[in-house]
Structure 1
Amino acid sequence: MSSLQAHRKAIIGIGVEMVFQSGGSRFQALKKVNLEIFKGDIQLLMGPSGSGKTTLLSILAGILTPTAGSVHLLGEEITRMSRNQLARFRLANIGFIFQGFNLFPALTAAENVEVALHLKGIRGRMARQQAQVLLEQVGLADKAKNLPRDLSGGQKQRVAIARALAGNPQLIMADEPTAALDSHSGHAVIELLRQLAKEGGCTVLMVTHDSRIMDVADRVLHLEDGRLKA
């Protein structure tokens, strides 16, 4: 692989395996998974329930440590990092989007985004201004003062995307981001992620069951029984 090609790759997984032990039983969730994802791409990871999609996403995001294999993100081998190094790397480089939105119910849309900015050391007026800009980016400037209970599912997911984009992460990891949305809202959310990826050079890896959004992806990976299929 040329150094130029390597430089263009945001996520590389080499021989990734994951074994879960429970009592006397042993379950191999991932079997020698190799993958490469280019910078600025939207990559879907699809497969049936129990195929290991969320486990793989968690390993690629540095939340789980694989039993074997290595993961390189943005040219850094995260599987060799200490827990503290990994926490700092994730905070600086990765934004997360979850299927349940994970918004704080007592905070407004803007405050939910500000929380993520605070974690990255951005506070006060700067945080308020950046939160407003991020909500504008996702088309929710007029909902900044709304609580989550006053927002639709699609709007909550947009707040979650704005929060994930706080601090300009280079990687977005999304776990079933359209699961709670109807077809129209789901497509709008993915189209928004695509636009942000293409304009900001952000790389998006998304676990999904939702075949309706396949047309928005640059590439689709299929995982079955812990193995990647072409």
Structure 2
Amino acid sequence: MLVLGGTAEARRLAAVLHRDPAFAVTSSLAGRVAVPRLPCGDVRIGGFGGADGLTAWLRGNRTDAVVDATHPFAARMTANALAATAAAGVPLVVLRRPGWTEGPGDRWHRVPDAAAAAALVPRLGTRVFLATGSGDLAAFAGLDAWCLLRAVDPPPPPLPARHHLVLARGPFTADAERALLREHRIEVLVARDSGGELTAAKLVAARELGLPVVLMARPPAPDAPAVASVEEAVAWLAAALAGRP
């Protein structure tokens, strides 16, 4: 099995497969974090060289199935996985945790992308927590606001002219997120609809403080079988590979 990882779900899946002698699992990490959390089993770090490179890797390593358990916003890797598995004739399943659902007290503004978020923010506040991940920060470089940024490693430019960077690795508690928002007098939170409990604390804190949230929509779902949990992914793999030597 090849698990395209980098998420908590990918690490859990690798652990489950690693314990089962029926599976030999290799996890692939993009290498964007200097010191990543490593899953169980074999691990490779770095890109494949696009869809063609991934196709060659699948063939060269006699891969029986691929699980795309990358971040919901890793659209390029998912597109490469779709193309490569189709070319190599290898089954693919996409493991995606469900997106977040708005509840009582939430003040969410859903937008299609980072550009739309950057256009909306000035109408909501002047002190902004950009909890978007490093890949989307360039869209906010021209924002006329004070911005709080948080990342595991220093993000590349361009960045907002007025910003404060916090280097930290989650998950974070709701108490910690509430304290962070208060410390920096945040007026609006910008986040991606990543889903999952591990990254939801900032939304809880924003709700409790009555802050508006600009929530960026996920890329379109890929045209591939999809599951929402590790258990479903394991069952899909067992069914897809039933009868293979």
Please, what TM-score do these two structures have when normalized by structure 2? Answer: 0.28
Task: Kindly indicate which of the two structures has a greater share of residues assigned to helix.
Answer: 1
Task: Kindly indicate which of the two structures has a greater share of residues assigned to strand.
Answer: 1
Please, what TM-score do these two structures have when normalized by structure 1? Answer: 0.29
